Amino acid sequence: MCGFVGFLDHLPEKAKIIEDMKNAIVHRGPDSDGTYLDDEIALGFRRLSIIDLDAGDQPMYNEDGSLVLMFNGEIYNYQEIRKELLEKGHIFRTQSDTEVLLHAYEEYGYDMLNQLRGMFAFVIWDKQEKRMFLARDFFGIKPMYYAQMNGSFLFGSEIKAFLCHPNFDKRLNHDVLENYLTYQYSPSAETFFEGVMCLPPAHYLVYENGKTTITRYWEPEFKEVEEGLSLEDWAGEIRKVMEDSVNAHKISDVEVGSFLSSGVDSSYIACLAKVDKTFTVGFKQKKYNEISYAKELSDLIQVQNISKVITPEEYWDKLSMIQYYMDQPLADASAIALYFLGNETAKHVKVAMSGEGSDELFGGYNIYREPLENKAYDIIPFPIRRLIGKIASLFPKKWGFNFLVRHSKTLPERYVGNAFIFDEKEKDKLLKQRNGVDPLDVTRPYWARTKGKDTVTQMQYLDINVWMVHDILLKADKMSMANSLEVRVPFLDKEVFQVASRIPRQYKVEGEVTKRAFRKTAQEVLPEKVADKKKLGFPVPIRVWMREEPYYSRIKEAFTSEEAQQFFHTDYLLKLLEQHKAEKYDNSRKIWTVFMFLLWYQEYFVKRA
- Contact between residue 191 and residue 145 where contact means Cβ atoms under 8 Å apart: yes
Average pLDDT over residues 187-209: 97
pLDDT at 313: 96
CA distance 567 to 570: 9
Residue 123 has pLDDT above 70, yes or no: yes
Residue 459 has pLDDT above 70, yes or no: yes
Q: Which fold has domain 2-216?
A: Glutamine Phosphoribosylpyrophosphate, subunit 1, domain 1 (3.60.20)
Average pLDDT over residues 76-95: 93
Mutual angle of helices 382-392 and 399-406, in 10-degree steps? 140
- The segment(s) of the chain belonging to CATH 3.40.50.620 are 231-309+330-364+463-531
DSSP for 286-326? GGG--HHHHHHHHHHTT-EEEEEEEPHHHHHHTHHHHHHHH
Give the active site residues.
2
pLDDT at 569: 98
Mutual angle of helices 588-601 and 174-183, in 10-degree steps? 150
For 250-290, the pLDDT digits (tens) are 988 889 999 999 889 999 999 999 999 999 999 988 778 88
E strand or H helix that includes residue 72: strand 67-75
pLDDT at 290: 85
Show the 3-state SS of 450-494.
Answer: CCCCCHHHHHHHHHHHCHHHHHHHHHHHHHHHCCCCEEECCCCCH
pLDDT at 205: 98
Residue 409 has pLDDT above 80, yes or no: yes
Average pLDDT score over the chain: 94
Q: Residue 59: what residue type?
A: P
Residue 390 has pLDDT above 90, yes or no: no
* Sign of the dihedral defined by the CA atoms of residues 171, 157, 199, 412, in that order: negative
Residue 500 has pLDDT above 80, yes or no: yes
In this prediction, what percent of the chain has a pLDDT beyond 70?
Answer: 98
- The segment(s) of the chain belonging to CATH 3.60.20.10 are 2-216
In this prediction, what percent of the chain has a pLDDT beyond 90?
Answer: 83
Residue 535 has pLDDT above 70, yes or no: no
List residues bridging with 310 in a β-sheet.
283
537 or 111: whose pLDDT is higher? 111
CA distance 522 to 268: 6
List residues bridging with 306 in a β-sheet.
279
The CATH classification number of 231-309+330-364+463-531 equals: 3.40.50.620
